[in-house]
Homo-oligomer: A and B are copies of this chain.
Amino acid sequence: MPDALEDLNAYVDASRPEFERRLAELVAIPGVSADPAHAADIARTAEHAAALLRDAGLAARVVPTAGSPVVVGEYLAGPDRPTVTIYNHLDVQPADPAQWRTEPFRLTVDGERYAGRGSTDDKGPALTALQAAQYAVARALPVNIRFVWELEEEIGSPNFEAFVRAEGSRLRTDVVLVSDSIWIAADRPAIDYGLRGLVTFEVTIETGTNDTHSGLTGGAARNPLTELAGIISECVDPVSGRILVPGFADTVAPVTDEELDDFVASGFDVATFMAAHGLTSLRSADTREVLRRVMAEPTFEVHGLTGGYTGPGVKTVVPPRATAKLSARLVPHQDPQAVFALVRDFITARHPDARVELEAALAPYLGPRTGPYAEAASAAVEYAFGRRPAFVREGGSIGAVLTMDQHLRAPVILLGLSLPSHGYHAPNEHYDWTQAAGGIRMFVHYFHHLAARPARA
């Protein structure tokens, strides 16, 4: 531990009232990005966030986009010094007060527990990093620290890529820390070093113009629903989930036994997983296999089928068309466009009049789990929380991570602080002081590590 960290514990303890005040101020602004009625609250969130950055000793600017602004905060120690960029978002999910035990947009402090919408997703982690930056700024650590606070994450970051492109070299950085992820278990820190990609698409079969009576037409009429069922069964084994499209997994980077060991070491537990998601049965009950499937394997899912009769009972119509809503989660190094083309061609070769239409595509992400930036993250986590983190992958997709990976050309490390119990997107969302205090120590450690690096050539 660097000597410079000697007074850190005292700083952390002393900063608690300030942290709680800042979190209360931010939670009190209901910046619900999904609801246009809250547009003014998004703007207030941005202005107040810039004020908080300035209050902590950083320069701040509110950068407009075609949608909501992005807030950028900077402490620049010098152009020859390493730069770390910390991404958070300050927009929040909607909150239905009827489902909350406390008022969602007023921070309720109960001992260590901070309840309020956005407290853990993602205002608390953002302010945790800010408290750490304030420490670094006050001590003039020789490291550049930049905050990028987005206000449209909860609606899919529609303008974030345009923001990054427009900022160009002003966002040049050596590493990106994304503090918007969740440990898998409360007692074991976790760092996500990978994200699955996603391709969503629809398949439509159309054989007529209107519902027909299956007594009058049934047998001769093509049934779009049975044909879609057949297409699905040709693409995926329905029970095991094994993908049957030839070539689909050809580019998949196999997960190593060592990676799987790390997944298992995360504290993941099948029973907890099932309870958390309300699942009463799984394709496999084996911990290692479940983790392999959700973190490191592609999927082929049906999310819905439209067409036909869906009211009570059975109405004997043959519908004129039906659409399956489908997606594939992708793992490194699958290319979403290439995978879509493969699936489309596989389907249309067998069913020439099937319409296969792409909806959205996100690439998978694989960040470093070894090397200097990952090791620094691991050391910072161990310093702060007393345990080495498990390196795991996230089964979902985060668009902003891909955007920064692609445009900033720096390693992106998911250094989140939330716990599974904190209730991301749920009623009674909360954060807690233990995670905040550990988080301040974690970020400060990371800044010191970067500060100790030699100057650029």
Stretch at the interface among A14-22, A49-57, A115-123, A218-226: A218-226
Contact A329 B198 (CB under 8 A): no
Cβ-defined partner of A280 (8 Å) among B196, B207, B297:
B207
Cβ-defined partner of A308 (8 Å) among B215, B236, B302:
B302
Interface-central residue, A241, A313, A315, A325, by most chain B CB under 10 Å: A325
Chain B CB within 8 A of A456 CB: no
**Closest chain B residue to A202 by CB distance?**
B314
Chain B CB within 8 A of A101 CB: no
Contact A196 B221 (CB under 8 A): no
Residues 394-408 of A contacting B (Cβ, < 8 Å)? 394-397
Stretch at the interface among A30-38, A104-112, A227-235: A227-235
Smallest distance from the beta carbon of A210 to chain B beta carbons, Å?
5
Contact B304 A396 (CB under 8 A): no
Contact A294 B216 (CB under 8 A): yes
Interface-central residue, A241, A280, A298, A314, by most chain B CB under 10 Å: A314
Stretch at the interface among A130-138, A316-324, A340-348: A316-324
Contact A278 B325 (CB under 8 A): no
Contact B320 A278 (CB under 8 A): yes
Chain B CB within 8 A of A299 CB: yes
Tell me, in angstroms, the Cα distance from A239 to B233 when the chains sit together. 13
Stretch at the interface among A250-258, A281-289, A371-379: A281-289
State the oligomeric state as a number of copies.
2
Q: Mark contacts of A126-153 with chain B using CB atoms, 8 A cut-off: 1 yes-contact digit, 0 otherwise.
A: 0000000000000000000000000000
Given contacts A215-B397, A283-B220, A283-B221, contact A310 B314 (CB under 8 A): no
Smallest distance from the beta carbon of A156 to chain B beta carbons, Å?
11
Cβ-defined partner of A395 (8 Å) among B216, B236, B310:
B216
Contact B213 A396 (CB under 8 A): yes
The tally of residues in A whose CB lies under 8 Å from a CB in B reads 82
- By a CB distance below 8 angstroms, the chain B residues around A353 are 281
Contact B303 A308 (CB under 8 A): yes
Smallest distance from the beta carbon of A358 to chain B beta carbons, Å?
10
Residues 432-455 of A contacting B (Cβ, < 8 Å)? none
- By a CB distance below 8 angstroms, the chain B residues around A236 are 226
Cβ-defined partner of A230 (8 Å) among B238, B308, B327:
B238
6 closest cross-chain pairs (CB), A and B = A215-B396, A230-B238, A304-B308, A219-B293, A209-B278, A229-B232
**24 A-B contacts, Cβ less than 8 Å apart?**
A202-B314, A208-B278, A213-B396, A214-B327, A216-B396, A217-B395, A218-B329, A219-B294, A221-B283, A223-B302, A225-B302, A225-B304, A225-B305, A226-B236, A226-B301, A229-B232, A230-B237, A304-B308, A304-B310, A305-B310, A306-B310, A309-B325, A313-B325, A315-B325
A residues within 8 Å of B by Cβ?
196, 198, 200-202, 206-210, 212-223, 225-233, 236-239, 241, 273, 277-284, 290, 293-294, 297-310, 313-320, 325-327, 329, 351, 353, 359-360, 394-397
